[in-house]
Amino acid sequence: MERANIILDRIEELYAEYHEEMFKYRKKQSPFARMFGSLTVSSGEPAEETLHGKFFINVSQMTAELEELLTKARDEEPELCQAVAAKAVNLLLIKDYNVFDVAETVTYSGLEKCAVPLLEFLSPDELERQYSIYRTHRTRLMGKEVIKAMKSAIRLYNDRGLF
C-alpha cells in the first residue's frame, strides 16, 4: 500500500499546484476579466491543455489507479484500505470553492464524481460522516449523483447489519 500513499501525496501536490496556478492566473487578470471572465467555461483550447483540464485529468488518473490498488488489497488489509479511501474521498469532495468561477466549479464537480467508486471502501462510520457533511452543500453539479451513491452504500451497510 506504499503506492497508495504516494498517490495520495501526489493528489495533494496536484491540488496545491492547481491553486497556485489559479492564484497566479487571477492575479494577472484585470478586474473586468476577473468579474466576467469566469462566466465562460472554455478558452477555446483543448481541455487537456487548459489549467483546469490538466488538473482534472491528472487527479482522475491518480484516483483510478488508487481504486485498482484498493480493490486488490481489500481482503488482505481492509482497515488500511478504509483509511486510504477516507483520505482520498476527503480530498475529492471539496467542501467549498468559488462557485462563481464556472470552470473551477465544473472541474471540482468532476472530481467529486471520481470519489464515487471509492465510497465502497469507506468504513460505515466514515461513510456516514462524509454523507452528513456533503449533503449540506447544495451548489454541487454532481451532488445528486454523489449523494445517491452514498445512500446506496449506506443501504448496503444497513443490509449487512454494519450500522
- Sketch the domain layout of the chain as residue ranges: 2-159
pLDDT tens digits along 94-133: 666 665 566 677 777 778 888 889 999 999 899 888 888 7
Indicate if the pLDDT at residue 162 is higher than 50: yes
C-alpha cell at 113: 464524481
Predicted pLDDT of residue 40: 45
Distance CA 53, CA 145 (A): 21
Cell 481482503 sits at which residue? 75
Cell 489559479 sits at which residue? 22
Distance CA 120, CA 115 (A): 10
DSSP 3-state of 35: helix
How much is the average pLDDT of 47-73?
87
Percent of the chain with pLDDT over 70: 73
| Residue 154's pLDDT band (cuts 50, 70, 90) | confident
| 74 and 4 Cβ atoms separated by less than 8 Å | no
